[in-house]
Amino acid sequence: MSQLELFKHKNKSYEDVVSDLSAMKVVSDQNGLEIFKSEIFFALLHHKPDRFTVVDQVIKQAEEKGISYILCKVSAEAKKFRSYARQVKVERYQATAFIRLKPIDQHRVLMGEFEIKHQTGELITLHFMKRFPQYTIMLIFGEEVYMGRNKEIYKE
């Protein structure tokens, strides 16, 4: 996924980050840990450059005070972190509801266009691939084009 690349310039991958989490004192809360991982995944797709700082801060806080402290948004940073994750989820959801698809190429391709702020193109394409498995999905997000076919996503 594209968010794997986001961490590369910090010499850290998304998987490195979530594997570090397992060493924390709160790992007994397995359900909380899964939610935290998923929130990190979404927060990293936010368009603002300070997403890395925010994620770093909440991981530090989670180590000190526990995952619940973050998931329950007790601190201002935790609130911001969850808000970032939420904004990404909202955009993905809005796109899946508001993109209008146009059947082209004798109804074998469904094409749609939408403006996105965050890096949600891949997630949106996946959604439509699941819904219309017998079609090729072509989605245009500004200058980026995503094409989903046979469980593969191509990006230009």
- Using CB under 8 A, list all residues that contact another protein: 26, 32, 65-66, 68-69, 71-76, 78-79, 93, 96-97, 99-103, 107, 110, 112, 128, 131-132
Give 14 or 82: the residue with its C-beta nearer to another protein.
82
- Cα 43 to Cα 2, 52, 119, distances in angstroms: 13, 9, 10
Nearer to another protein, 107 or 151 (CB): 107
| Nearer residue to another protein within complex by CB, 102 or 155 | 102
Taking the C-alpha atoms of residue 72 and residue 93, their distance in angstroms, rounded to an integer, is 23
Q: Residues for the chain: how many in total?
A: 156
CB-based contact 33:21 (threshold 8 Å): yes
Write down the least CB distance from residue 127 to another protein, Å.
Answer: 10
Give the nearer residue to another protein in terms of CB position, either 1 or 74: 74
Closest contact distance (angstroms) between CB of 77 and another protein is 10
Residue 118 zone, left/alpha/beta (φ > 0; ψ -120 to 50; rest): beta
In degrees, rounded to 5, the angle at the alpha carbon of residue 90 between the alpha carbons of residues 86 and 96 is 150
What is the nearest approach in angstroms of another protein to the Cβ of residue 16?
25
